[in-house]
A and B are shown apart, each in its own frame.
Chain A
Amino acid sequence: MNSLRTLFIGFTITFTLAWLGLVIIPYFQLGQLAPQVDEDAGMSYPLIRSGLAERGKQVYQANGCIYCHSQQVRPMDADPIKGRGWGPRRTVARDYIYDKPHLLGTMRTGPDLTNIGKRQPSADWHHAHLYAPQSMAEYSVMPPYRYLYTVQKIKSTPNPKAVKLAKGYQPEEGYEVIPTPDAIALVAYLQSMDRTYALPEAPLPKE
């Protein structure tokens, strides 16, 4: 049984190596990435989120958006980028340096959201879509997030913040739909999602 013992000691060492390989080395390899600074334009990528958008990220986490939406674009062969319009390039580790926790996601019941801020820059669109997803796409299986909004009686003048809804989805006559602070933060977060900048390790493809 001597050979067996040698074999087993080999197993043990490799088992510890797995931990080293999957946790520690990536930590040192990726843990200290710095943002990419474009000195000519005076910009630093990825963009730092505003405080409001950071709060919106918490709303995103609390309501489990990751269970249907991913935030990563894989290399061309896996995610044909032009066809689905999810982004001009694959995403790389540097894109996520400000994300704590990471929200890469594992499911695409809904579209990828890596660049949703670029795709849908309008806050009005997002509010209407969150309140009544089916008003934007009838076939959508996204649940309405009505609890992020309050329906109130219109006072003397309509509230400028009121959500602009399509016909058939509006509240009763004389009422309006006002976003809560959570909804406003969430939309700010969605609008901030834009990873269409170029990085040295992931340049934008030439047209």
Chain B
Amino acid sequence: MGEILYLILVDPFVQMAELPDFFLQVLWEGFVSGILYALIALGFVLIFKASGVFNFAQGIMVVFAALSLVGLWEAGVPAFLALALCVLVMLGLALGVERLVLRPLVNQPDIILFMATIGLTYFLIGLGEFIFGGEPKTMITSELLLPTGSHAWEVMGGVVIFQEIDIAAAVIAGVLMTALGLFFQNTRIGRALRAVADDHQAALSVGISLNQIWAIVWFAAGIVALATGIMWGARSDVSFALQIVALKALPVLVLGGLTSVPGAIVGGLIIGVGEKIGEIYWGSMIGGGIEGWLAYFIALAFLLVRPQGLFGERIIERV
């Protein structure tokens, strides 16, 4: 018994202290995947905030955006033109979803809208494979002028290896989040969006077009999906299996609170770092591979204390 307690309570920290450089590496890896989780979660939050739709299709939008990019490039379009066209594709998707799915389903219960986005997921899987084929593709990292090298940083008697693409991912994610933040804070559309998030009817009554706002947030979520797709595609490759990884954004989402942009970022980092540390220092005790569910348990633990997530709006219930 004492031995088990030692393994759980003491040994992991001894390990951390023994190999500080390795611990730093773990933190960095957790940070990078946390950023990527946060990006996916950000797409969810934007849409949930503005329209109350729990957009399950965010994961497949990531795949679809990345596939379109690589597909266009493979068809002979120059990389940056392909990127621009991809933005147009996401715009078309946003308009299509708003017109064909959201508008007819306005005022339906949440679960119906949720199911509609799962239907959308199936549709996009079929469409993506139909157009681009099912084979995994290699992300055009260097064509997009993204760095691919790596740096070893000697510290504390060891090395920490940084991938340039990971650093780029962190920078791009930071820029994207800041830009979105500024956009929603300081522009007319941004203010309209926040008005819609607060109260649909009040927003309507002051002349804000709900449909327009929805199309804009879906477009913004599409841009975020494109960025995520490029980053994650560069880390592994672009295939439909990525969609499963995107499920990781769900615990991030509930941990941060469904309606909070900072929540998505903080939640992403907590989950990213937490699950890495958990897997590496505690996971091997029970056979490893616990990353699949650890994130959900971390989120669950937080939820039991704060049922609305870290930054979510307080749930007030009245009879």
Q: Do A and B bind each other?
A: no
